[in-house]
Structures are given as C-alpha cells and as structure tokens.
C-alpha cells in the first residue's frame, strides 16, 4: 500500500501518479523477462552474458505459443543491434539448427557444451525463434492448427511474437532490428519485413539478410543441374537429360503432389545413382556423419575442424530433461524434440510463391538487403541466387556501386561480392554449406559484422 504522503501528493500533482504507473509497468515487464532468465545450461562453460528462453503467447484462445532462445551480446548489449534468426524447412528449428548447430554461443560435445568462438552474439543480441507453432518446443493446444500452415499465417505470428517480445524486453525497443535467416527463410524473412512495414508497426527495422534463400521456385531448383555437373557429381549425359527431359523443379513439384511421372522418375533415379547417397547435398565437399562408426567420425572431425555429427548431438542434448528445465521448455503434443517438425503440415504450394520482388518493395522504405550464398550448397545453389539478385537490380535500375570482386578475411579469399545502389548486396561465402555459419563460422561472422555496420565487405586482409 502507498504511504499517505504520496496519496495526498497524487491528488495535487497528477504527474506523480503517471510516474508510479509507468514504474509499475516497467517492473512487471522486467519481472516477466526475469522469469525467462537461464541460470545456466547443463554443461555450459562460464560466460559473462545473459541468456533467456521461454514462450511468447501468440493466440490466447487457441493456446498457441512460440518458443524463443535469446542470447545477449557479449559486450554492451543495450547499444548493440537485435537480430532475429529464422531457420527454414519449412518447419525446422532455429534453436536446434541455428543456435546449437551454427552461430549460437555453444555447441554440444558429449554431455557438455563448448564455447563457439565465432558466435554471432559477439556482434549483436540474437533471438532464435522456433516458428511456426509445431516446430521444436513451439506448440498449439488446438492441433487443427498444424493441418495447413501457410506463409501468411507464419508471417502474422512472427510479427505478433516480435511485438510481444519487445514488450517483454523494453530496454531493446529503440535498438536497430535486423531480421535474418536461411533456406526457406527466403520466404519467412522478406514476408515478415514487408508485414512490419505495411502494418506500420513501430519497430526500428534496418535490414534483412538471407542465406541460400528460396526466392523463386523454378530458378532456384533448376540451378541444381548445373551445380551438380560443374562439381563433377553427374556426367555430361545425365546433365543433358536433367535439363532437357525433366528438370529438378518439375521433379520437386511432382514429388510434392505425389504425381511423379515415369520419365521424371527415371531421370531422378539416374541423378541419384551418380550423386550417390554418401554426398551431403547441403555441402557437396563435406564428409557425412557416420554415427555408427564413432572412431571414423572422430577422425573426420579432427581433420576438418567441423563436427559433422553436431545435428545428432544437438537432438540428444535438447531431449534431456535437465536441459529442457533450464530452457523453461515443454514438450506439448510430442514425445521428443526434433530438429525439423514431424507434426507440421505446411502448405507446400507456398514454395512456389516468388519472394524476390518483395526485396524490391523493401528498398522504398530504406531497408538494406543482403543475400548471401554458401558456395558448396546444391540445395539452393549460388548460381540461381546470383541470377535472381542481378535480375532484380536490373529491373529496379539500381546502379552497381561495387563491381563483382573478392572479399577477404583471415588472410584468405572469403568469397565474392557485388553491391547495387548501396542497398542491395550479394555475397558468396567460400567453402560454405547451405548452413554457411556451420561450415565457415569465421567468414560468416565477418559477413555479419560488415552487414550490421552497413560497411562493404573488406577488400584487404583483416
């Protein structure tokens, strides 16, 4: 109860009441965020930054909630940008894949976590969001939600999440916001950015970055044939039938609808036989994980300095009860946490919605766009992405401000880049996979650093 002296002053000086109400609201918000603070993850090394995890309710009536993992910047978090990270799929986990497999502060190693020296929270505050509901720890009590999830629903839920997350963490409301992701996030990220602009939501959105993104169905998937052929994975004759008889966009479309024709089935079988089952399509130069042959997997890890079995280790770690308790996470409607959802029925026809032109819409609002490609990915190859970005620049009559050139990091060529009109950038990450920060963490962190500052990628050695 408030002291009598304050109550008397409130009647004569109403501004005191306003101040008290504001203070109470702030205390309530802070207590909400404090409830999500992670004391320590099981097996983690000691760190100096804060971590939070928990749920943001999107729809009270349907009891739909999205799970997030938030890592504050290592230094000066209140002055650093906020970066939202979305993995693709559709239906794969940003926490499991993005945080623990790519650029989060830790990676699983046995029963413990080891520090990731190239964590993105060196540059920003990072929110890893499991979206849509049905992915990872995110859920809907109304199971009918899972039956047909669309891009429109996902964008709307992600916007509600952002609004309510900033209400929970008001200290970051004035920070610059960047939305990032990879793969099917080529839909999630531009669509969310467009919705923020159209809804006039008061978020300080400055830019988006999308890696190996699906932007246009036919161009992206049909570039696979040339990529396979140029890397020696298929023969000249197979390349010919893969481009003239039945291309990959046809095969993908038919597989999704269960209408694979005999002729396309024959081409698909021929391509699969030559590529083999022992090549990782997400990085055609990387060895695959052989968890049943532990010793061999350990040898591969030592040789490459890349843990090709990190996905399996992450699944084991996030299914531990003590880990789930530390993350304030629950398994609702599922018995196990999985890296990609087994209950979500995404409307796969949405894959054919082109999002390349949304990027053009963002420019009018001054939103910077970075499109980057790990150059060893055959799933969404750089050749198709580069063609789409170049075509968009021509369509919008954007002048080339930085001609195609190398960029450098760590005394090596880190990739190639081109910039159009100081607002649209394309870059490759040399030697990187579909999930670029997984296989080239140092180069990916350097890319993020330049992007957040609005600087060109370095021409000189760092």
What CATH number matches the domain at 51-217+348-453, 3.30.413.10, 3.40.50.1820, 3.40.50.720, 3.30.450.40? 3.40.50.1820
What pLDDT score was predicted for residue 13? 58
**For 74-102, what is each residue's pLDDT tens digit?**
999 999 999 999 999 999 999 999 999 99
Residue 323 token pair: 């880990």
CATH 3.40.50.1820 intervals, the chain? 51-217+348-453
Round the CA-based radius of gyration of the chain to a whole number and report it: 23
The pair phi, psi for residue 457, each rounded to 5°, is -65, 145
Catalytic annotation on 36? no
The pair phi, psi for residue 393, each rounded to 5°, is -60, -40
What pLDDT score was predicted for residue 16? 53
What pLDDT score was predicted for residue 9? 53
Catalytic annotation on 183? yes
Q: Which of 418, 408, 363 has the alpha carbon at shortest distance from 193? A: 363
Burial class (CB in 10 A: 0-12, 13-18, 19+), 16: middle
**Alpha helix locations (H) across 367-461?**
382-395, 436-439, 441-453
Mean pLDDT, contiguous 10-residue spans, the chain (462 residues): 47 52 47 87 96 96 95 97 96 97 94 96 98 97 93 98 97 97 98 97 96 98 97 97 96 93 97 93 86 40 65 94 97 94 94 96 94 97 97 96 95 96 96 96 97 94 62
The pair phi, psi for residue 60, each rounded to 5°, is -65, -40
What pLDDT score was predicted for residue 17? 54
Q: Which helix (H) or strand (E) holds 436?
A: helix 436-439
Chain centroid, CA 273 distance in Å: 31
Catalytic residue from among 280, 307, 375, 377: 377
Residue 15 token pair: 């501004």
What pLDDT score was predicted for residue 30? 56
* pTM value surpassing 0.85: yes
What pLDDT score was predicted for residue 106? 97
Catalytic annotation on 377? yes
If phi > 0 it is left, if psi is from -120 to 50 it is alpha, else beta; for residue 437 that is: alpha
Catalytic residue from among 65, 183, 223, 341: 183
What pLDDT score was predicted for residue 14? 52
96-107: b or e for each residue (b if 16 or more CB lie within 10 Å)? Answer: bbbbbbbbbbbb
Catalytic residue from among 65, 119, 425, 434: 434
CA distance 133 to 58: 9
Give yes or no for a contact between 168 and 70, defined as CB atoms under 8 angstroms apart. no
What pLDDT score was predicted for residue 301? 38
Q: Provide the greatest CA pair distance for the chain.
A: 90
What pLDDT score was predicted for residue 403? 97
């Amino acid at each position: 109860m408030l002291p009598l002296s304050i109550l008397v002053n409130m009647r004569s000086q109403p501004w005191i009441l306003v101040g008290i109400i504001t203070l109470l609201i702030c205390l309530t918000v802070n207590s909400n965020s404090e409830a999500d603070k992670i004391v320590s993850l099981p097996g983690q090394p000691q760190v100096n930054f804060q971590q939070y995890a928990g749920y943001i309710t999107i729809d009270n009536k349907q009891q739909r909630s999205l799970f997030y993992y938030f890592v504050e910047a290592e230094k000066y978090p209140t002055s650093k940008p906020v970066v939202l990270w979305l993995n693709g799929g559709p239906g794969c986990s940003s926490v499991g894949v993005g945080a623990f497999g790519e650029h989060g502060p830790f990676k699983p190693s046995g029963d413990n976590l080891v520090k990731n020296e190239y964590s993105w929270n060196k540059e920003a505050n990072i929110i890893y969001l499991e979206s849509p509901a049905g992915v990872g720890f995110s859920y809907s009590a109304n199971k009918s939600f899972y039956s047909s999830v669309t891009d429109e629903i996902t964008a709307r839920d992600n916007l509600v999440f952002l609004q309510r997350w900033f209400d929970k963490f008001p200290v970051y409301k004035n920070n610059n916001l960047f939305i990032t992701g990879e793969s099917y996030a080529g839909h999630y990220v531009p669509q969310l950015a467009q919705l923020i602009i159209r809804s006039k939501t008061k978020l300080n959105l400055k830019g988006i970055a999308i890696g190996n993104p699906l932007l246009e169905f036919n161009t992206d998937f049909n570039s696979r044939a040339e990529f396979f052929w140029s890397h020696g994975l298929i023969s000249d004759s197979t390349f010919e039938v893969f481009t003239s008889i039945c291309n990959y966009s046809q095969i993908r479309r038919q597989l999704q609808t269960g209408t694979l024709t005999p002729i396309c089935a024959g081409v698909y079988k021929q391509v699969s036989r030559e590529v083999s089952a022992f090549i990782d399509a997400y990085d055609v130069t990387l060895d695959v994980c052989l968890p049943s042959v532990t010793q061999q997997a350990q040898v591969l890890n030592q040789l490459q300095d890349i843990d090709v079995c990190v996905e399996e280790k992450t699944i084991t770690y996030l299914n531990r009860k003590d880990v789930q308790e530390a993350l304030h996470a629950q398994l609702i409607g599922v018995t196990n946490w999985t890296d990609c959802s087994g209950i979500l029925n995404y409307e796969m026809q949405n894959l054919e919605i082109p999002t390349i032109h949304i990027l053009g819409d963002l420019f009018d609002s001054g939103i910077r766009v970075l499109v980057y490609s790990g150059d060893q990915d055959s799933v969404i190859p750089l050749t198709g992405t580069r063609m789409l970005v170049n075509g968009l620049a021509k369509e919008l009559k954007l002048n080339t401000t930085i001609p195609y050139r190398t960029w450098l990091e760590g005394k090596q060529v880190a990739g190639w880049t081109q910039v159009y009109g100081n607002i649209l950038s394309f870059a490759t990450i040399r030697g990187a996979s579909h999930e670029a920060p997984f296989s080239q963490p140092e180069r990916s962190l350097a890319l993020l650093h330049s992007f957040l500052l609005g600087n060109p990628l370095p021409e000189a050695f760092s």
